[in-house]
A and B are shown apart, each in its own frame.
Chain A
């Protein structure tokens, strides 16, 4: 069995949820349904878009870049997770004290007591994203906090304790929306355990 994320790590995940979603969903082309296993309505997709935009998903799963007004999400990489070409150096060692976690400027790489985690590619790319996932796979992941409901644990700062309480209909809507956005091929690095 894998070690469970430490209490500080879980606390961090919860604390992050307390933050207001800093990034509103940008204006973009109306999302369109792909070929799902079941019939998905446009209303579900829009509901999913609403939930994603109000739940802070953008803040970690779309890398930030510097724009004229400061850090802003790079919409050319919408929900594609940590950029594969961005090789992160060793995280800085924090001194003794209350600081616990560091994150990259992109907000897609996080280091803490659990090691280093990289935010996932949520686009429907079949090789590097959720393209092969089923709705059931997505729900099982969020419900159990395990990859696909049976693999490794989902790491901080992903706020599984909060999202796992969403209703099935909300999770289905979120998945329907994520399957409707453009696929982006971006292989996110594997997480690194703490030493």
Chain B
């Protein structure tokens, strides 16, 4: 009996184990999936909960303010930006044009029209996934509340151009940050330029060339006008128009170590930058107003003097 009984028992045992696993999987797998997505969905409900400040008007320890040399045009909004790295961690600058940020890196960007209207927040999770959030400031300036992932397009907002403001959706964030050389667009070698040595001395970077302490990277160009114009295109276009970006031969991203490149299709660039036709405009999102100063800069550099038109 025993020999025949054993396999029978063993088979029952296997069935029992399989049944238990199946029962466990029925609730555990969906739970695990849900938990893995909560990290994306569950952002703090209020900006104050992200830990930007330790007291009203006082930045928390480890938060560094920064400003890129060349700004993205955001319909005339004023901006402030901050970064915080996890204690003891540093940014890897080995790839000079595509820095790698440590897990737990946080960045904030505040947009103002007279007063603060929005603060955007991004954070790097384990596994290399960035999460994004937008916070809408309360009218009394006491705090800012998380905007739904779908965003709020053309939200009524006093002080914004035309009295309307676009709070970006999660998909909008990814449209610009997701395909860039580094999802962090403004905290980069060429953008920090003269202020880079200070961040190096503060211990925020590793594998950065020592020479940057003496000669920080600068936007390439043969004249101040060219450097400014290339910087403008870099800030406003480079997140898509880089070497491995959109399948369009137009390359507007600048590199630390490379020469600035050849002639650009001036007419096409100006056609797309000088319109807010929503089907043609560049950048294709996050702006509804023309940038008169930026356009004047591009025209001054791209067009021969005899063909320049007034903006």
Contacts and interface: CB of A to CB of B under 8 A. Distances in A.
B240 A150 contact: yes
Given A1-B168, A3-B278, A149 B248 contact: no
B172 interface: yes
Interface in B266-291: 277-281, 284-286, 288
B178 interface: yes
A65 interface: no
Contacts of A134: 247
B279 A133 contact: no
Contacts of A137: 246-247
Interface stretch (A51-59, A72-80, A90-98, A140-148): A140-148
A152 B281 CA distance: 8
B35 interface: no
A38 B136 CA distance: 44
A191 B284 CA distance: 14
Interface string A119-152: 0000000000000111001000000101111111
Contact of B285 (A2, A155, A193): A2
Contact of A193 (B151, B246, B247, B278): B278
Nearest to A155: B279
Interface of B: 151, 153-154, 166, 168, 171-172, 175-176, 178-179, 240, 246-249, 277-281, 284-286, 288
Contact of A150 (B151, B176, B277, B288): B176
A149 B179 contact: yes
A34 interface: no
Chain B interface mostly: loop
B278 A150 contact: no
A4 B284 contact: no
Nearest to B239: A150
Contacts, number: 59
B152 to A, nearest CB: 10
Nearest to A3: B278
Given A1-B153, A4-B153, A115-B279, A148 B247 contact: yes
Nearest to A137: B247
Given A1-B168, A1-B172, A151-B284, A191 B247 contact: no
Interface string A1-18: 111100000000000000
Contacts of A149: 175, 178-179
A192 interface: yes
A190 interface: yes
Given A1-B286, A2-B285, A134-B247, A150 B175 contact: yes
Interface in A178-195: 190-193
A28 B288 CA distance: 46
A115 B166 CA distance: 22
Contact of B284 (A3, A152, A155, A190): A152
B33 to A, nearest CB: 18
Contacts of A151: 240, 246, 284
Contacts of A191: 279
Given A1-B166, A2-B284, A4-B153, A190 B279 contact: yes
A190 B286 contact: no
Contacts of B176: 150
B55 to A, nearest CB: 35
A4 B172 CA distance: 12
A145 to B, nearest CB: 9
Contacts of B240: 148, 150-151
A117 B76 CA distance: 31
